Structure 1
Amino acid sequence: MSFIVTLYVPEGIVMAADSRLTMNFQKKLPDGTSLFQSFIASDTNQKLYLINERFGLSLCGEAAINNIPLAGFINTFEERISSNTDVTEIPEALIKYFKEIGNNPRITFHLSGYRVEEGISIPYVYIGHVSESKFLRVNYRNDQIYYGCSWGGDSDIFARLILPARVKKNRGEWKELPYYEIPYNFFTLQDAIDFAIYAIRTTIQTIRFQTRPKTVGGPIDVLVLKPGEQPYWIQKKNYHGENALKEISTRL
């Protein structure tokens, strides 16, 4: 699994994702029962992409199709995107593409970009589910632009932090905990960047101490999209060789 986060605030859009790839399988025991096993396959998996230098795409769910990682398929999909492709065309095209190459894969995606309407750059943020052939624009409500945060993947830790919650008391009654809304509409772009990193970093650090599969981890990639500008990376893992590893070890 994974954890992806997208924030849409007045200054722009921030997308972030972790880099861990885990492999899960069931092992048959001699007594006929099954044992679930999970192990970390990589901490350099790509889940956040810049498509055609214009759109942001993040993925969670199944990390491979036909035993081939998704990164290669995304490169092929990008070749289908031209300079004239509109952001509104991509969600449906992406679902169709994944269904062509896979057996109805369980993949969730976030797709973000801008579209010029009457001379103004309008933000579009979509969440899509390939297996259900569904997608929804999440930053538009009641005929106006909506600011907020969307997430996908292993999100239970983060959800408990920012959504309403309650605890069970000794006598069995439930007590509502204090709840404070987050004013995304007042976020600066830097606030959104900090919040996206906080969401994923907190999930990584919490999972570390829990007795559960370590499905979120590795470097955090962060991509920013702003109206009228080319998207750019705030932080992105890079390829490196032996010398780079030696320099890292020396600094540590």
Structure 2
Amino acid sequence: MSLGISVMIPEGIVLAADSRQTYRNQKGMARIGSDSASKVFRIGSRMGLVISGLAFLPQQGVMKNVSGFIDEFRQTKPVDKMSVGDVAKEISQYFDTIVPYREQIKHMPESIKTDLARQGMELVDLKEEPTRVVFHFKNREGQLQEAIAAPDGLQFILAGYNKNRSSEVYMIYIPGTVEQVRDSRQQGKEFGAGWIGQTDVVTRIVLGFDPHMQGIPFVREASAKIGESAIQQQLRGMEYSIQWGTMTMQDAVDFCQLAIDTTTAIQRFSDGVLMDPGGITGVGGHVDVAVITFDKGFVWLSRKHLKSKDGNEIDLENLPSLEK
């Protein structure tokens, strides 16, 4: 898992992410595989990408780190000649053919039936959709409930500047959609923050509630009566009033660092929530931070380097390429 954040303010854009990489072993136990994974990437001269989700993807029968696919994308696409929106669409199309979510969805119905039977619950109906499986079941008390099973996938934040000096931020979901969340040309969408990955802690802090709240019986009852959108609108009244439009670049950097550090600390002392115990300490390690402005482009503020035991360091990104 991961926590990736973007903040767009008048001065520019800040992108940040942790460096932890987790996986499940053959017994299904979550383990920390690395605290040196890269999740923030330069895309051309004025765009950046933050990634969360699957760490490895198949290529010709071999599992390959997702960063390798991002490198291939950068090398094959003329991103500096494209708008931020066009790059977002290209990323979506590129990874949609690589992430094996369709195969996962095929096997989900049988897994759902087996899991419900093991827990003494009854499957009522099940519907396969292109990106998920929706099903209804009766719990041990005979109450009818709805649930959604989604395959493992990828989430991206793409942010940057167009040639006309406008800036944009997109959320890209594989499987799923491409959503523009920030646009300097549209009033009300020009400034703000967004996050992907293990977002429960930062969501609690900023929005004032945890997404787990949707599973509380009285919230489900209220949603059935007045609709989920009405519930969401009322809950957003708990959101902290943060003046993103008056933030300096340093303020935005501090916010990203605070959100990731706080998530790391809370995960250290907690193990999920009481209604859904068993959390994964998926956020940790060095926090990579990059800033983007139109005049300076993509610039690293804080980035881990390769280190030797005797203290030597190298930054591979800034070394000249051997290719002519």
TM-score normalised by length of structure 2: 0.65
Q: Map residues 79-98 of structure 1 onto 2, 5 A cutoff.
A: 79-82=75-78, 83-98=80-95
> Does the 8 Å CA contact 1:222/1:234 hold for their aligned counterparts?
yes
The separation in 2 between residues aligned to 1:178 and 1:131, in whole angstroms, is 30
Give the match for residue 200 of structure 1: 260
Report the CA distance between 1:26 and its aligned residue. Answer: 5.9
User: Unpaired runs of 5+ in structure 1?
Assistant: 28-35, 167-172, 246-252
| Residues 40, 50 of structure 2: 8 Å contact kept | yes
Tell me the SS of whatever aligns to 2:93: helix
Look up the match of 1:223. 290
Structure-to-structure mapping, 1:70-219, within 5 angstroms: 70-82=66-78, 83-104=80-101, 106-117=153-164, 121-132=165-176, 134-140=177-183, 143-144=186-187, 145-165=189-209, 180-211=240-271, 212-219=279-286
Query: How many residues of Structure 1 are paired with residues of Structure 2 in the alignment?
Result: 227
CA displacement at 1:99 relative to structure 2: 2.1
- Distance apart, 1:73 and its partner CA: 0.7
Residue in 1 aligned with 2:15? 15
What do the CA deviations read for 1:146-190 (whole angstroms, capped 9, x no partner)?
211000100101111111349xxxxxx99x997631111111111
Alignment RMSD (CA, Å): 2.4
- 1:37 matched to 2:81? The reply is no
Distance 1:230 1:141 in 2: 16
Whichever structure has more helix as a proportion of its residues is 2
Aligned to 2:50, which of 58, 62, 68? 58
Query: What one-letter code is carried by the residue in structure 1 that aligns with 2:179?
Result: L
Amino acid across the alignment from 1:190: Q
Letter matched to residue 6 of structure 1: S
Q: Distance in 2 between matches of 1:26 and 1:77?
A: 31
Aligned mates of 2:30, 2:21 — CA distance in 1:
10
Q: Which runs of 5+ in 2 are unaligned?
A: 102-151, 211-217, 220-234, 272-278, 313-324
Indicate the structure (1 or 2) with the bigger Cα radius of gyration. 2
CA–CA distance in 1 between the matches of 2:11 and 2:46? 16
Q: Which amino acid aligns with 2:244?
A: Y
User: Is contact 2:160–2:167 with CA below 8 Å preserved after alignment?
Assistant: yes
Residues 94-103 or 59-68, more deviating? 94-103
Whether the aligned pair in 2 keeps the contact of 1:17 and 1:48 (CA below 8 Å) is yes
SS at match of 2:162: strand
Question: Which structure ranks higher in relative contact order (CA pairs < 8 Å, sequence separation ≥ 6)?
Answer: 1
Equivalent pair of 1:52/1:81 in contact (CA under 8 Å) = no
Counterpart Cα distance in 1 of 2:42 and 2:10: 21
One-letter amino acid of the counterpart of residue 138, structure 1: V
Distance 2:168 2:36 in 1: 28
TM, length-normalised to structure 1: 0.83
Measure how far apart 1:142 and its partner are. 9.2
Which is further off, 95-104 or 136-145? 136-145
